[in-house]
Amino acid sequence: MEDNSLDYMFIALLVLILVSAFFSGSETAMLSLNRFRLRHLSKQRHRGAIRSSMLLANPGKLIGVVLIGSTVINGLAATLTTIIAIRIWGNNDKYIYAASLLVTFLLLVFAEMTPKTIAAMYPETIAFPSSVILRWLLKAMHPLVWALSNISALFVRLLGFKHRDNSHHQLSQDELRSIVDESGRQLPAQRQNILLNVLDLEKVTVNDIMIPRNEVVGINLDDDPDEIMQVLLNSQHTRLPVYHGDLNNVVGMLHMRNAARWMQLEHASKVELLEHADEAYFVPESTALPTQLVNFQKNRKRMAIVVDEYGVVIGVVTLEDILEEIVGNFTTNLSEETPEIYPQDDGTYVLDGSTSVRDLNRALHWHLPTNGPKTLNGLLMEELESIPDNQIGLRLNGYCAEILQTTDNQIKSVRMWEAASPGSEDLSEMQANIYD
């Protein structure tokens, strides 16, 4: 009979270790759950996720249940071990201490480290089934948990700590960017780039992506009807601004669909052309792209005239320009995507001075500064602090630039390359006499 009782004690000790492992593993699994994925699964009506969300809504009570359970179980395991040791070896302190050390080792390895490690690796697999038992225990031990939680909260206040709300769980833009950066295996590269571009959209304004004034194609109502007809026939754009004299006098925006109707009229006049034009839509140059995207949607517009702080027209911006900032250009050929960039056989690039610095960085994966001038011409002239002559060279943020041509008080063409790129040392040595 005594042997049977010892067997039952060993079985009971094993059960206590398993129960202790349950409490340890379930606690780690619950606290390791991804809150954003948990929220998503809850919206999908996943029962385990809903139960876990309810438990995590009050983590103090959850931890209270786990601590009460694990403390009681570990205490019972230690007591039962002592009884087993006395039954086997008598009241011998040496054996009792040895048994205590043994059960401590068993609890540490099999009831703490092992279940917590597994739970941290597979939190959902452990947490969702465990939530059934934990929720039941929370209801059963509610008075005890409530009392202990309030006593604990009192000591927390006495120690000078204040309760914090959940606002610190909200992710900042930089933290979201880090999450996207680290999700390489879960997200295709293209989608990852789109998400990163969306996060960076707040940093970009209309002025950064607009088509500058000198590149805007429009209809001058002061021209002859034949000249206007030629502009319409040769235009590659869907919408054209309509103005008197220059772009500061924009009076409307003409869609090519309406222009085609005007051209089919027997006696097409400028008055009728203006009747086919829509009202012009103006936006300030400092408007952030997310705001402008919403404004395009709200006003049902796809193109806007950009003005500076003095009301002077400085360019135009389209819905397509903003979308390209998110998804990238809609062409894949470098020469089509950025026609101002001409790759050379020696690894350098001949660039048009009017090339946008942002387009240049995107096309060549360079890192030229974008917080100043918007074009390469402006960037180089700001660095030189003067209008340069031909064959002047300089170094700029790790890149070498050689001015090839200047016309009309601006840099027309430049040859550039990375100072650290293959072959650049030879190029630098060949042209050392023109660089500061």
Task: For 423-435, write each residue's pLDDT tens digit.
Answer: 444 444 444 444 4
Global pTM reads 0.58
Domain that holds residue 196: 171-203
Tell me what percent of the residues of the chain surpass a pLDDT of 90.
22
Euclidean distance between CA atoms 393 and 376, whole angstroms: 14
Are 18 and 141 within one domain?
yes
Are 225 and 288 within one domain?
yes
Assigned token pair, 147: 């009392």
Domain boundary among 327, 353, 381: 327
Give the residue, 314 or 156, on which the prediction is more confident.
314
* pLDDT at residue 29 is higher than 60: yes
Are 342 and 371 within one domain?
yes
Tell me the pLDDT tens digit for each residue of 118-170.
999 999 999 999 999 999 988 888 888 888 878 877 887 888 777 665 545 56
Query: What is the 8-class DSSP label of residue 90?
Result: -
Compute and round to an integer the Cα radius of gyration of the chain: 36
Q: 397 φ, ψ to 5°?
A: 50, 45
Give the lowest-confidence range in 83-87, 204-208, 325-329. 325-329
Tell me the pLDDT tens digit for each residue of 83-100.
888 888 888 788 888 888
Domain boundary among 327, 361, 387: 327
Average pLDDT of the segment spanning 54-58: 86
Structural contact between residues 305 and 295, judged by C-beta atoms closer than 8 angstroms: no
240 sits in which H/E element: strand 239-243
Say what the pLDDT of residue 304 is. Answer: 94
Say what the pLDDT of residue 420 is. Answer: 66
Categorize the per-residue pLDDT at 306 as very low, low, confident or very high, splitting at 50, 70 and 90.
Answer: very high
Are 145 and 39 within one domain?
yes
Domain boundary among 288, 308, 327: 327
Average pLDDT of the segment spanning 43-67: 87
Are 152 and 176 within one domain?
no
Are 250 and 298 within one domain?
yes
The beta strands (E) that lie in 274-330 are given as: 282-284, 303-307, 313-318
Say what the pLDDT of residue 283 is. Answer: 95
Give the lowest-confidence range in 281-285, 294-298, 350-354. 350-354
* pLDDT at residue 185 is higher than 70: no
Assigned token pair, 26: 């379930």
Say what the pLDDT of residue 263 is. Answer: 84
The CATH number linked to 260 is: 3.10.580.10
Assigned token pair, 386: 């003067």
Say what the pLDDT of residue 179 is. Answer: 72
Are 241 and 197 within one domain?
no
Q: What average pLDDT does the structure give for the chain? A: 83
Are 270 and 230 within one domain?
yes
Number of structural domains the chain divides into: 4
Tell me the pLDDT tens digit for each residue of 389-418.
767 888 888 889 988 888 878 888 889 998
Tell me the pLDDT tens digit for each residue of 210-265.
888 888 999 999 888 888 888 888 888 889 999 998 899 999 999 999 888 888 87
The angle subtended at Cα 293 by Cα 288 and Cα 298, nearest 5°, is 125
Structural contact between residues 277 and 253, judged by C-beta atoms closer than 8 angstroms: yes
Say what the pLDDT of residue 303 is. Answer: 93
Are 17 and 156 within one domain?
yes
Are 34 and 153 within one domain?
yes
Are 214 and 235 within one domain?
yes
Say what the pLDDT of residue 22 is. Answer: 93
Are 156 and 41 within one domain?
yes
Say what the pLDDT of residue 426 is. Answer: 45
SS3 category, 395: strand
